[in-house]
Amino acid sequence: MISEETRKRNELPCPTCGGRSYSWGILRAQGINFIPDEASLLQKAFRFGSSLRARRCLDCGNIQMFARSV
């Protein structure tokens, strides 16, 4: 369940055009993961990190990325 703070942040308007209509999804591409610098070599080898969720503004097409722990 998402927190109230996260829900409110997800409802913020598009920073490009101010739109409020979004399509949510995930980014699919080889190797797109955020891996913190402090992750161990073993964690890096097994892709420890965060996958990327994204929302696309339906008005202007701007895509915003959000990391979530896996």
pLDDT reading at 48 higher than 60: no
pTM: 0.61
Integer Cα distance of 70 and 53 in angstroms: 11
- Structural domains of the chain, count: 1
Q: Which domain holds residue 42?
A: 4-69
Helix, strand, or coil (residue 68): strand
| Number of neighbours of residue 68 by Cβ within 10 angstroms | 11
pLDDT reading at 33 higher than 70: no
